[in-house]
């Protein structure tokens, strides 16, 4: 019989919601902000669904107090937002735009007045266009400029922001931005992607040291990686060893390329050479810089991938992701073209797999003993709409959150070092190449009027946060 008691979280557990600058702020040209690669990309015809741009988005640049009120009404203890680099340094380097710093100081103050702790991400993909014009992350110089920017922001906000994230999901930047081109800056260049991988990591390491130099003691510094459990299917008749090898390669591609350098100062053994920087690019002290000790690891979890035996001739060679091949046995792509059909999916067609979160948290607690983990993103897109009563009853998201929060609580019970959870996302927002079509918020945004309507999931999440416990799962749900 299923245990029907609530699953409690530890005292002091952080309950938060997350957003990112380009996805919610709007104010694309306000008060001296420079252009970012996403301004350029979204204004390039054919790049974003429906021609959507982040010019206005949720207009949070002007409505941040209202958004802080929303967080407060939900009783959340933390808000993860990102800082727009070109709002602070319009050209990426050089002249500081004081109005940009003032905006984030005012946002942090609005949060502080409501008892909400600020968690700031320095880079959530909106690189200043001026730096892209000098090579973007494929250029070593950008890593150095990132550290300068970190120092400027830490000086200005260090008294108001206690938790700092250097990069958000650098894997997505390197793969979608430089390898497949579906994100800004839209390059399809394996060499540039490999160089970007190294320079993102180097930028992270240099920024850690710049932040530590400028922040008061007690500030926490970490990085957020999107991490993905990799599973082989049970029907691996006689293919065990080859599939295990494929699993190791895929794990290296999806997780190890960023996780291992950050945790251990080396690139993963099983990563295909084409994904890694050539030796000449790695300078003597780089790997030690990259492995600078952290106060926490931010984990973004959405779904696992699955591998299965297959005909290598069927390997997909589409433009989205060049296949990483294990000859003669396995059909898969790094992002997992094969997924089982039998489970629920979100409006992104992503699997609903809370067990993946459980597995991931326990694995990371083993790989990085003692390092606090925060789930810095988890959530789902759903086909939300305002019903005739004026409400948004997003039962799919309530179920998704219930299952994943229960998995997180079980992981803690079984030894995972999880200190907090930030739902993605506070608001429906600009979902990159999908534009406004995909809604991830626990608060609905009517983009035409900017009216915010809290969805049913926000009430569910608020109840969990207030109780610091997740209610028992309905007995009828498969766990």
* Cβ–Cβ < 8 Å for 354, 403: yes
Report the residue number, 417 or 425, with the smaller CB distance to ligand IFM: 425
Report the residue number, 20 or 200, with the smaller CB distance to ligand IFM: 20
- Helix %, strand %, coil % for the chain, to 5? 40, 15, 40
Identify which of 17, 41, 222 has the alpha carbon closest to the alpha carbon of residue 122: 222
- The answer for 379, left when phi > 0, alpha when psi is -120 to 50, beta otherwise, is left
Q: How far is the CB of 366 from ligand IFM (least distance, A)?
A: 24
Report the residue number, 267 or 400, with the smaller CB distance to ligand IFM: 400
Q: Which two tokens stand for residue 164?
A: 């700092």
- In the complex, the residues that contact ligand IFM under the rule CB under 6 A are 20, 23, 169, 300, 377, 424, 431, 440
Is 169 among the residues known to form the active site? yes
Report the residue number, 36 or 300, with the smaller CB distance to ligand IFM: 300
Report d(CA 256, CA 165) in Å as an integer: 19
Report the residue number, 22 or 267, with the smaller CB distance to ligand IFM: 22
Report the residue number, 14 or 82, with the smaller CB distance to ligand IFM: 82
* Long-range Cβ contacts of 1-8 (<8 Å, 24+ apart): 2/472, 2/473, 2/475, 2/479, 3/472, 4/472, 4/475, 5/472, 6/467, 6/469, 6/470, 6/471, 6/472, 7/405, 7/406, 7/409, 7/410, 7/413, 7/469, 7/470, 7/472, 8/409, 8/468, 8/469
Q: How far is the CB of 169 from ligand IFM (least distance, A)?
A: 5
Q: Mapping DSSP to helix (H, G, I), strand (E, B) and coil, where does residue 284 land?
A: coil
Q: How far is the CB of 425 from ligand IFM (least distance, A)?
A: 7
Q: How far is the CB of 178 from ligand IFM (least distance, A)?
A: 17
Burial status of residue 435 (CB atoms within 10 A of its CB: 0-12, 13-18, 19 or more): middle
Annotated catalytic residue within 25, 169, 359, 431 = 169
Report d(CA 353, CA 357) in Å as an integer: 8
Report the residue number, 286 or 394, with the smaller CB distance to ligand IFM: 394
Q: How far is the CB of 431 from ligand IFM (least distance, A)?
A: 5
* Cβ–Cβ < 8 Å for 370, 415: no
Is 377 among the residues known to form the active site? yes
Report the residue number, 289 or 429, with the smaller CB distance to ligand IFM: 429
Q: Which two tokens stand for residue 93?
A: 């380097």
Report d(CA 248, CA 271) in Å as an integer: 8
Integer CA distances (angstroms), 131 to 49, 134, 143, 190, in order: 26, 5, 10, 20
Report d(CA 100, CA 105) in Å as an integer: 9
Q: Mapping DSSP to helix (H, G, I), strand (E, B) and coil, where does residue 435 land?
A: helix
Report d(CA 459, CA 465) in Å as an integer: 10
Annotated catalytic residue within 239, 260, 359, 377 = 377
* Cβ–Cβ < 8 Å for 404, 396: no
Burial status of residue 210 (CB atoms within 10 A of its CB: 0-12, 13-18, 19 or more): buried
Q: Which two tokens stand for residue 144?
A: 């150095």
At 423, which helix (H) or strand (E)? strand 418-424
Helical residues (DSSP H) of 283-425, grouped into ranges: 286-290, 354-367, 395-413
Report the residue number, 151 or 357, with the smaller CB distance to ligand IFM: 357
Q: How far is the CB of 224 from ligand IFM (least distance, A)?
A: 9
Q: How far is the CB of 82 from ligand IFM (least distance, A)?
A: 9
Q: How far is the CB of 23 from ligand IFM (least distance, A)?
A: 6
Q: How far is the CB of 1 from ligand IFM (least distance, A)?
A: 36
Catalytic positions, please?
Answer: 169, 377
């Amino acid at each position: 019989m299923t245990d029907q008691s609530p699953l409690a979280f530890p005292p002091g557990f952080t309950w938060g919601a997350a957003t990112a600058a380009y996805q919610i702020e709007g104010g694309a040209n306000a008060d001296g902000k420079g252009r970012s690669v996403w301004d350029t990309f979204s204004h390039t015809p054919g790049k974003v669904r429906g021609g959507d741009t982040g010019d206005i988005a949720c207009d949070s640049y002007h409505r941040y107090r209202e958004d802080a009120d929303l967080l407060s009404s939900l009783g959340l203890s933390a808000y993860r937002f990102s800082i727009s680099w070109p709002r602070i340094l319009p050209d990426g380097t050089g002249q500081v735009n004081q109005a940009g710093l003032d905006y984030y100081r005012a946002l942090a103050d609005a949060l502080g007045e409501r008892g909400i702790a600020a968690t700031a991400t320095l880079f959530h993909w909106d690189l200043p266009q001026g730096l892209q014009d000098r090579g973007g992350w494929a250029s070593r110089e950008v890593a150095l400029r990132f550290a300068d920017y970190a120092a400027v922001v830490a000086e200005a906000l260090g008294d108001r922001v206690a938790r700092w994230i250097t990069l958000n999901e650098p894997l997505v930047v390197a793969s979608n931005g430089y390898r497949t081109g579906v994100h800004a800056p839209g390059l399809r260049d394996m060499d540039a992607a490999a160089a970007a991988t190294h320079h993102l990591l180097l930028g992270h390491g240099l920024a850690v040291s710049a932040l530590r130099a400028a922040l008061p003691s007690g500030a926490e510094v970490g990085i957020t990686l999107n991490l993905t459990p990799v599973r082989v299917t049970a029907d691996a008749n006689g293919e065990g060893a080859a599939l295990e090898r494929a699993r190791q390669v895929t794990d290296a591609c999806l997780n190890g390329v960023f996780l291992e350098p950050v945790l251990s100062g080396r690139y993963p053994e099983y990563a295909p050479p084409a994904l890694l920087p050539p030796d000449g690019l790695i300078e003597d002290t780089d790997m030690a810089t990259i492995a600078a000790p952290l106060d926490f690891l931010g984990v973004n979890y959405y779904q696992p991938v699955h591998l299965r035996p297959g005909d290598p001739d069927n390997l997909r060679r589409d433009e989205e992701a060049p296949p990483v091949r294990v000859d003669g046995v396995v059909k898969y792509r790094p992002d997992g073209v094969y997924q089982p059909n039998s489970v629920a999916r979100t409006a992104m067609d992503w699997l609903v797999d809370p067990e993946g979160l459980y597995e991931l948290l326990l694995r990371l607690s083993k790989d990085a003993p003692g390092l606090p983990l925060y789930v810095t993103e988890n959530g789902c897109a759903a086909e939300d709409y305002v019903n005739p009563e004026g409400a948004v009853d997003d039962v799919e998201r309530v179920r998704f959150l219930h299952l994943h929060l229960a998995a997180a609580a079980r992981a803690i019970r079984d030894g995972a070092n999880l200190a907090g959870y930030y739902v993605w996302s506070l608001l429906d927002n600009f979902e990159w190449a999908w534009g406004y079509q995909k809604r991830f918020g626990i608060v609905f945004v009517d983009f035409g009027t900017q009216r915010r309507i809290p969805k049913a999931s926000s009430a569910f999440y608020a109840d969990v946060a207030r109780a610091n416990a997740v209610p028992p799962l309905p007995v009828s749900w498969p766990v």
